[in-house]
Structure 1
Amino acid sequence: MHLKSISKRTLTATKYDGGKLLVNGIERDVRHPLHPGDEVEIQFPPEKISMGLAVEHGELDLVYEDDALIVVNKPAGQSTIPSRDHPSGTIANFLAGKFTRERVPSTVHIVTRLDRNTSGLICIARNRHIHHLLGQQMIHSDFFRRYEAIVEGHIMKDAFSIEEPIGREDGSIIKRVVREDGQYARTDVLVSERFHIKGRALSRVNLNLHTGRTHQIRVHMEWAGHPLVGDDLYGGDVLFISRQALHCTALMFTHPLSGELKVFESKVPKDMRYLNQNK
């Protein structure tokens, strides 16, 4: 039996963790031969909230929600997932609370995540199968992510791409750098405005990600000589804003079940708008 688009991990869980494979309403195993006209139904096993993920109840800015996925608008200052320094109050903790209240038999599957001090749209799958399908879109560059940022200096080129590998900086568990032995990464940059604030040259840019490396935009813009305003880890000045001026403004992908093209957009928050208004 060939189960199209089902990951090996999901199929294994279906076999051994309480799921079922039904052919014409009768439970079968993966070796059962299929014939034209057969109806195959897969009942995925219930999932449990991941170990270490505290169930908490808090406010979520829900942009979209259905039986397959959720899109949330994350504010700056809130972590996407728990960490040693920020174990509670995260998007994942609050989603675990939401799933518990609604008796959703699933854990939280983060498809796209943002750094704690980056704001904007993130996508969450409701089960491991949807996570796999959306992950495949990302691998094949069919999952579109657009960001807006304000960076130091005036960028001379109107549009360009940065294709530089990214890896962990030696001696650091947090900082990343461009390095030859790093992972392939590509960021497309489009300059939308050049302006000054109190004599400081700044540029507003739109960025499209083709890969999703840790701190990718921050690393690539530092490498290009134009670190994000407010990003003191990568050379940005915190004079005008206390966090990196970076916001995920749009997500575009094909819905994994309906096949419908989904587009979600988010306006930049007040702190980034304030920068543009004080030119």
Structure 2
Amino acid sequence: MRIDRYLAENTAYTRSFLQKLLKTGMVLVNDAAVKSSYRVSPEDRIEFEVPDPEPADVLPENIPLDILYEDSDLIVVNKPKGMVVHPAPGHSTGTLVNALLYHCGDSLSGINGVLRPGIVHRIDRDTTGVLVACKNDEAHRSLAAQLKVHSITRIYYALVFGNIREDDGTVDKPVGRHPTDRKKMSVNTRHGRNAVTHYHVLERFGKYTLIECRLETGRTHQIRVHMASIGHPLVGDMVYGPAKQPFSLEGQTLHAGVLGFIHPGTGKYVEFRAPLPEYFSDLLEKLRKQ
């Protein structure tokens, strides 16, 4: 296995962050610096030192947050539609991180670097719902470890095209970068990573179906890619669904409704829920009347 992948799967750090350490010679194998392409062996001794976080260029912004829960270890928010989680090219302001920096000040974990302080997991810009951020590195490591062993409860609600025949099903297909369009993900058996989505039908509307999705893994765009792969793309999804979309929606109808995990401070299981956003509820009422 490549060393960047090995370290990403066995530490709390992201693969991109580790690749930067490797590129600058800060990762040693048997006392010698190696590149990302180095393949590990059973007897290798790997050492690396994480540099102190650089001063962040990300500025705090007084953006209102819908806080579901907060303590000294973490903060759980209900992310609105259209909000990007962390700064990226084209989105340097107005992100959840900008809002968290204003609300939490210096009380955010630094493991994921200056652009993603406190961020353990992400949801897409147009996906709404529950998201947790960590206020210290110990809490971050705990939640990152739970994510890696897939023990975190993650339930999403989605409206998809078509009438799904079975009431329950599982999509077990690897998800990876699209072979030709680097901005998209795809069911990719050659270079994809294991991805499993369990779905359950909640309500049928003839041309559309409301489903509940439980994530066993958490790949980028996983639900969107998986449902599109079985012929039921999400309503409003201009990337993986049809070009012509009904209802004048802004992005996919996908809501992270439930998030549950072992609290890093108390060791007890906690679960947080966010109600469906107004646009989603209104759409369902419209379909029920039709």
Secondary structure in structure 2 of the residue aligned to 1:218 = helix
Query: Alignment partner for residue 138 of structure 1, among 112, 130, 147?
Result: 147
Q: Which residue in 1 is equivalent to 2:107?
A: 104
Q: Which residue in 1 is equivalent to 2:260?
A: 252
Secondary structure in structure 2 of the residue aligned to 1:232 = coil
Change (3 A) 1:144 1:50: farther
Stretches of structure 2 that go unaligned for 5 or more consecutive residues are: 1-10, 14-51, 111-116
Query: Alignment partner for residue 150 of structure 1, among 154, 159, 163?
Result: 159
Alignment of 1:267 with 2:270, yes or no, is no
Query: Alignment partner for residue 82 of structure 2, among 73, 77, 94?
Result: 77
**Amino acid across the alignment from 2:181:** S
Query: Alignment partner for residue 234 of structure 2, among 228, 235, 239?
Result: 228
Query: Alignment partner for residue 159 of structure 1, among 168, 183, 188?
Result: 168
Q: Is the 8 A contact 1:63 1:71 kept in 2?
A: yes
Superposition deviation, residue 50 in structure 1: 5.9
Superposition deviation, residue 49 in structure 1: 7.4
Q: Which residue in 1 is equivalent to 2:196?
A: 186
Q: Which residue in 2 is equivalent to 1:95?
A: 100
Q: Which residue in 1 is equivalent to 2:60?
A: 55
Alignment of 1:114 with 2:123, yes or no, is yes
Q: Is the 8 A contact 1:149 1:228 kept in 2?
A: yes
> Following the alignment from structure 2 to structure 1, what is the Cα–Cα distance between the partners of residues 94 and 250?
20
Q: Which has the larger radius of gyration?
A: 1
Q: Which residue in 2 is equivalent to 1:66?
A: 71
Q: Is the 8 A contact 2:12 2:141 kept in 1?
A: no
Query: 48-57 vs 158-167, which deviates more?
Result: 48-57
Change (3 A) 1:258 1:50: farther
> Following the alignment from structure 2 to structure 1, what is the Cα–Cα distance between the partners of residues 54 and 127?
26
Q: Is the 8 A contact 2:109 2:134 kept in 1?
A: no
CA deviations on 1:194-232 (whole Å, 9 max, x unpaired) are: 114xxxx00000001111111001000100100000001
TM-score by length of 2: 0.75
CA deviations on 1:8-34 (whole Å, 9 max, x unpaired) are: 98xxxxxxxxxxxxxxxxxxxxxxxxx
Aligned-pair Cα RMSD in Å: 1.8
**Amino acid across the alignment from 1:117:** D
Q: Is the 8 A contact 2:120 2:132 kept in 1?
A: yes
Secondary structure in structure 2 of the residue aligned to 1:231 = coil
**Amino acid across the alignment from 1:92:** V
Superposition deviation, residue 53 in structure 1: 2.5
Change (3 A) 1:116 1:104: same
Q: Which residue in 2 is equivalent to 1:35?
A: none
Count of paired positions: 230
CA deviations on 1:110-130 (whole Å, 9 max, x unpaired) are: 122110000001011112221
How high is the sequence identity, in percent, across the aligned residues? 37
Change (3 A) 1:105 1:91: closer
Stretches of structure 1 that go unaligned for 5 or more consecutive residues are: 1-6, 10-46
